[in-house]
Chain A
């Protein structure tokens, strides 16, 4: 248990479906992140939220829509996805986002294994 909980753990959805991924952290952190992990590729940063404000959007297609209602919860809303979006989606949190102190390690959730059919 890392203190970051993601649900569901596995999700299969059609290209016309709408679904949401949920992330919850119990660590008192004020920054949260969505990463995408595809086979044999580096973890790709998707979105960064700091104090519930989106501070980074890494050129992610609009079919992925994040939402951060408070500092403990982060959602990723999915609609009209493509098969190439199938991947492991990882949520992470950290205390702050670096700044002058680089040692703000990120704690990861177990991820949601998404398959788009």
Chain B
């Protein structure tokens, strides 16, 4: 089975940097995904990691350490519109679909 943990809530200031951590346990790792979900809207894909290291995409970066079962999503130059829930999800080689964590609700303050 899989177990995915991430903080429930975080607060950060506009213009700052925030790091959202995710730890996971899985029997056969085959990729980690980050999604953003605004209230009342569909989750939207942000990033994908399958090898160790940092993947950068504009203001967002995602890091993976497979040996530690650990990932983080880094958001730079925070904007008010970044206030949303951020979902960490893992794909297991034995399963076809993604397993999601509970999500981290990020509030960006002025």
The smallest C-beta distance from A41 to any residue of chain B, in angstroms, reads 6
14 further A-B contacts with Cβ under 8 Å, apart from A48-B96, A105-B45, are A33-B97, A35-B100, A42-B101, A43-B43, A45-B97, A48-B97, A55-B96, A97-B96, A98-B30, A98-B93, A107-B45, A108-B35, A110-B41, A111-B42
User: Which 10 A-B residue pairings sit nearest by Cβ, starting from the closest?
Assistant: A102-B31, A97-B96, A43-B100, A102-B30, A108-B42, A105-B45, A42-B102, A42-B100, A108-B43, A110-B42
Query: When A and B form their complex, what is the total count of cross-chain residue pairs whose Cβ atoms lie within 8 Å?
Result: 63
B96 touches A98 (CB 8 A): yes
Q: How many residues of B contact A (CB 8 A)?
A: 26
Chain A, 52-101, CB within 8 A of any chain B CB: 55-56, 90, 97-98
